[in-house]
């Protein structure tokens, strides 16, 4: 599957939603893990502002690769952001979208 690097030059990034565990199974509450490391994954809402637009995007990152306290409105550095198109079939209906994953999220708060 294609992985597309995302250029964030000229963007301001803020935490829109603090980190939450990424669930693999909502019914059981099982937390998703990174296939390579086995470490827990987190989902963070990031507000990207720049180029005349603002948009909140959910970004997945390994829990250990989040540094500093990320509360709503915290300025952050997003390292190694990639976009990955996906397509699945749920209950006989095809669904598709783009997921975002970062190598690291770092608080820029003083």
- pLDDT tens per residue, range 72-108: 999 999 999 999 999 999 889 999 999 999 999 999 9
Bridge partners of 36? none
Over residues 6-28, the mean pLDDT reads 95
- Contact in structure between 61 and 34 (CB atoms under 8 Å): no
Q: Is the pLDDT of residue 110 over 90?
A: no
Q: What's the confidence (pLDDT) of residue 26? A: 87
pLDDT of amino acid 1: 60
Taking every pair of Cα atoms in the chain, the longest distance, rounded to a whole number of angstroms, is 50
Q: Is the pLDDT of residue 45 over 80?
A: yes
């Amino acid at each position: 599957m294609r992985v597309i690097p995302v250029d964030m030059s000229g963007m301001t990034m803020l935490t829109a939603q603090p980190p939450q565990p990424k669930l693999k199974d909502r019914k059981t509450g099982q937390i998703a893990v990174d296939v390579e490391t086995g470490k827990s994954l987190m989902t963070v809402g990031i507000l990207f502002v720049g180029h005349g637009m603002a948009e909140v995007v959910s970004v997945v990152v390994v829990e250990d690769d989040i540094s500093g306290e990320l509360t709503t409105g915290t300025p952050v550095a997003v390292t190694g952001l990639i976009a990955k198109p996906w397509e699945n079939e749920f209950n006989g209906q095809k669904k598709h979208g783009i997921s975002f994953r970062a190598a690291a999220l770092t608080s820029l708060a003083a």
